[in-house]
Amino acid sequence: MQENSGLSALHRGIPQGILGGVIGMFFTGLLQDRGDLPQGRLVTLAGGLVLGGIAWGINYALQQSSERFAMQIYAPSGSTNAYTPTFSHIDALEARGDLDGAAKAWEEACAEHPGNALVWVKAADFHLRSRGDPVAALERYRHVRDLAGVQVDLARYASQKLVDLHLGPLADEGRAMVELRRLIDRFPGTREAEEARGALARLKAARPPE
């Protein structure tokens, strides 16, 4: 199972790597036209491979970090976690394929528990995983990130998912960089902050010169 999970994590960064490679080849070509780089297809290809590798590496690192948070949230090892209501009826709706009914039920659950971060995280994960709706997921992860007194692990998980969404389906690199800076400032000295710092540096390095 761990081997399959690792392969899945590796594969998930491929679309971002391809996109980064195309952008890299484009900007390498511009630099070649300006005379800043040697001419030749191999140089153009090398530029694409470098930027593609950077984009893949950023996505892979962030995905790995998000998965660690998910394991802590959904399979905690301690016994001191606050009580969280269960929603087996929503799980049943989703299992039957009634995604509209499940979405409505999650909306009601969030309205009933506006201060329960885990309920909102589960609702956000549902919209992202089952409905493929990154915008709805984004709104709910933001709620968790900004919730007063939120558990640290949940706040970091929500912040990581926001970065993933902006770098992935929403394709908003600028907002991703904002979220990375916020994560660094909010959780200084943590491994996640260091990973965010590295991802931010790679994003800046991959940007074309102005």
Q: How far apart are CA 49 and CA 20, in angstroms?
A: 8
pLDDT for residue 21 is more than 70: no
- DSSP helix/strand/coil, 134: helix
In this prediction, residue 81 carries a pLDDT of: 44
Q: What is the mean pLDDT of residues 178-190?
A: 94
**Which residues 6+ apart lie within 8 Å of 21 measured at CB?**
48, 49, 51, 52, 55
Stronger pLDDT, 167 or 209, i.e. the higher one = 167
Q: How far apart are CA 182 and CA 69, in angstroms?
A: 17
What pLDDT digit, counting tens, does each position of 87-139 carry? 899 999 999 999 999 999 999 999 999 999 999 999 999 999 999 999 999 99
Q: Nearest to residue 160, comparing CAs of 80, 73, 40, 31?
A: 73
CA dist list (Å): 189 to 9, 128, 150: 26, 30, 19
The 3-state secondary structure of 154-172, one letter per residue: HHHHHHHHHHHHHHCCCCC
Stronger pLDDT, 137 or 76, i.e. the higher one = 137
Q: Write down the pTM of the prediction.
A: 0.62
In this prediction, residue 87 carries a pLDDT of: 85
Largest CA distance in the chain: 64
With pLDDT > 70 as the criterion, what percentage of the chain qualifies? Answer: 61
Q: How far apart are CA 186 and CA 159, in angstroms?
A: 10
In this prediction, residue 209 carries a pLDDT of: 72
Of 7-11, 14-18, 103-107, minimum mean pLDDT range: 7-11
Q: Nearest to residue 49, comparing CAs of 17, 13, 91?
A: 17
**Residue in this structure with the two tokens 């400032």, named with its chain if needed:** 185
Q: How far apart are CA 186 and CA 76, in angstroms?
A: 23
